[in-house]
């Protein structure tokens, strides 16, 4: 692999200065790693080129790609971080430093401790500059692709860590492409038997449907164009194998009951076109009841937007169809990395984009990063408590509920109306006097269900929180506020 392959893989054309910068980084990296080999026997520089290529594919800018090339330099070669800084500036050396630090995790302690320590590091890096975590994900993805060359005990440990930490983080950052591939690679090492079974099933069924997909996408394209709906792209693709296996498990491993084995994806210019295209699809093919999902009006917690429907397609075969704009598509595939592109201004780093006021905060989805930072500030040094709550909030499935004005509030599953109140604002939480869910009065330990409208009734003055709430609330924000208020009450 050559540097030219990295340039060619880039989702967006790189400027000539960008290419020059990346080339300089490549020269330094190749010299620093000269003579070093990977376990597979190839030159070490291959690994850094592959990492850079993944970053280019998901649309990262030149400094991040350069940092990807340099990511193992200070740790594994005689070339120091100081020298990286002198040559490439503080931004690149901070990125490289961040990635190096993420790699240094003590292996002592229980698995649980190790997991939390790992997670804490990821979080701290994320709060400082999300690009560090994106580089780490690219690095891990290439290491997973080449995991076969390591001894088997190592394979299992690395695959497990990837499944538990890296894939969920990729998911949380909305980088569906990386998440899907990481899970599939882990699946192969963690459960080889089921991996083989699923793979075989896929091979048989996908092979059968190739011609069908081609024919179906062609038909749709013609139909849409006839109605004057412009189409940017229409394609069919099969589900990632690990996700498919999870679904098969719920359906007695019966392939006939999986409706979205193959999804047809329609990309159109505008949101209006999305709904027009959906209408057209439904006019022609009967939709399946209960499978129409409008993630454009109600995005998933990780920011995912699209219209989904399942129809009885040509020849009566069941098909899932996803309709979205180009921007939604890029965000679904590349997540936060796509925001980087859509919001990039040369002088702004991620930190500024996310945390500084008066800059564009790209989307609701970045809220959780800010939330994490807030919680850590509040909980301060009490690390263990923080990590425990972080683990719950970070990985639990989320639900969303609405304020009467229609604002969306994301909460973990089983969150109560008290959690909801604190999620709106600590002032609302501290004055909660009652709550209505879908216009009916409920008790304060009521568990909110997905999609409900919650109205919080407040008193004029802050009220003493009930100690029992500490048992029922699920978010760390609510917990820490309640504790603080209780402490205050104790004071004379």
Residue at shortest CB range from Mn ion:
139
- Interface residue with Mn ion among 50, 57, 61, 72 (CB under 5 A) is 72
| Minimum CB distance to Mn ion smaller for 44 or for 386 | 44
Q: Using CA of residue 29, residue 35, residue 36, residue 39, what is the dihedral sign?
A: positive
Q: Is 276 in the site for Mn ion (CB under 5 A)?
A: no
**How many residues in the shown chain lie near Mn ion by CB under 5 A?**
2
Q: How far apart are CA 189 and CA 145, in angstroms?
A: 11
| Minimum CB distance to Mn ion smaller for 186 or for 411 | 186
Give catalytic residue positions: 75-76
Q: Supply the minimum distance, in Å, between the C-beta of residue 157 and Mn ion.
A: 16
Q: Supply the minimum distance, in Å, between the C-beta of residue 323 and Mn ion.
A: 38
**Alpha-carbon 98 to chain mean position:** 19
Q: Of 68-76, 144-152, 259-267, 440-448, which part binds Mn ion (CB under 5 A)?
A: 68-76
**Site string (121-150) toward Mn ion, x via CB under 5 A:** ------------------x-----------
Q: Supply the minimum distance, in Å, between the C-beta of residue 47 and Mn ion.
A: 6
Q: Of 65-73, 246-254, 361-369, 436-444, which part binds Mn ion (CB under 5 A)?
A: 65-73
Q: How far is CA 194 from CA 191, 242, 488, in A?
A: 6, 9, 55
Q: Supply the minimum distance, in Å, between the C-beta of residue 95 and Mn ion.
A: 13
Establish how many alpha carbons lie within 13 A of residue 356's alpha carbon, considering only the half-sphere containing its beta carbon. 10
| Minimum CB distance to Mn ion smaller for 50 or for 94 | 50
| Minimum CB distance to Mn ion smaller for 72 or for 94 | 72
| Minimum CB distance to Mn ion smaller for 139 or for 331 | 139
Q: Supply the minimum distance, in Å, between the C-beta of residue 29 and Mn ion.
A: 11
Strand partners, 368: none
Residue 139: helix, strand or coil by DSSP? Answer: helix
Q: How far apart are CA 33 and CA 77, in angstroms?
A: 6
Residue 301: helix, strand or coil by DSSP? Answer: coil
Q: Please provide the DSSP assignment of 173-215 as one string.
A: TT-HHHHHHHHHHHHHHH-HHHHHHHHHHHHHHHHHHHHHHHH
Q: How far apart are CA 341 and CA 73, in angstroms?
A: 27
Return residues touching Mn ion (CB under 5 A): 72, 139
């Amino acid at each position: 692999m050559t540097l030219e392959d990295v340039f060619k893989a880039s989702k967006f054309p790189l400027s000539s200065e960008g290419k020059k910068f990346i080339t300089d980084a490549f020269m330094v990296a190749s010299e620093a790693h000269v003579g070093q080999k990977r376990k597979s026997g190839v030159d070490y520089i291959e690994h850094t080129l592959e990492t850079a290529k993944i970053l280019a594919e998901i649309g990262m800018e030149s400094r991040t790609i350069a940092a990807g090339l340099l990511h193992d330099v200070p740790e594994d070669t005689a070339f120091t971080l100081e020298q990286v800084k002198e040559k490439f500036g503080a931004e690149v050396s901070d990125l490289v430093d961040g990635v190096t630090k993420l790699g240094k995790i003590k292996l002592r302690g229980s698995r649980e401790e190790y997991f939390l320590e790992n997670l804490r590091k990821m979080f701290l890096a994320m709060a400082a500059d999300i690009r560090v975590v994106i580089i780490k994900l690219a690095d891990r993805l290439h290491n997973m692709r080449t995991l076969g060359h390591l001894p088997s005990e190592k394979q299992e440990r690395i695959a497990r860590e990837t499944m538990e930490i890296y894939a969920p983080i990729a998911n949380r950052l909305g980088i569906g492409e990386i998440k899907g591939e990481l899970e599939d690679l882990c699946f192969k090492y963690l459960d080889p038997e089921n991996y083989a079974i699923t793979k075989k099933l896929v091979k048989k069924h996908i092979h059968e449907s190739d011609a069908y997909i081609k024919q179906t996408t062609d038909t749709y394209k013609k139909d849409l164009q006839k109605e004057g709906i412009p189409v940017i792209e229409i394609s069919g693709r099969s589900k990632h194998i690990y996700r498919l296996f999870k679904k098969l498990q719920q359906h007695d491993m019966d392939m006939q009951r999986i409706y979205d084995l193959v999804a047809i994806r329609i990309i159109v210019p505008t949101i209006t076109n999305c709904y027009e295209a959906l209408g057209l699809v439904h006019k022609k093919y009967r939709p399946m009841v209960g499978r129409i999902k409008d993630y454009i009006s109600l995005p998933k917690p990780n920011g995912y937007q699209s219209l989904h429907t399942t129809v009885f397609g040509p020849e009566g075969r069941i098909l899932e169809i996803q309709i979205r704009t180009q921007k939604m598509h890029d965000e679904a595939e590349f997540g936060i990395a796509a925001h980087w592109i859509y919001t990039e201004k040369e002088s702004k780093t991620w930190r500024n984009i996310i945390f500084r006021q008066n800059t564009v905060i790209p989307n609701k989805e970045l809220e959780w990063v800010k939330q994490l930072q807030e919680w850590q500030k509040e909980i301060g040094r009490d690390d263990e408590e923080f990590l425990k709550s972080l683990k719950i909030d970070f990985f639990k499935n989320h639900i969303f509920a609405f304020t009467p004005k229609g604002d969306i509030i994301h909460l973990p599953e089983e969150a109560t109306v008290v959690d909801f109140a604190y999620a709106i604002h600590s002032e609302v939480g501290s004055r909660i006097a009652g709550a209505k869910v879908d216009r009916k009065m409920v008790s304060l330990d009521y568990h909110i269900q997905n999609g409900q409208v919650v109205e919080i009734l407040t008193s004029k003055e802050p009220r003493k929180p009930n100690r029992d709430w500490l048992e029922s609330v699920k978010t760390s924000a609510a917990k820490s506020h309640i504790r603080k208020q209780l402490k205050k009450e104790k004071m004379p």
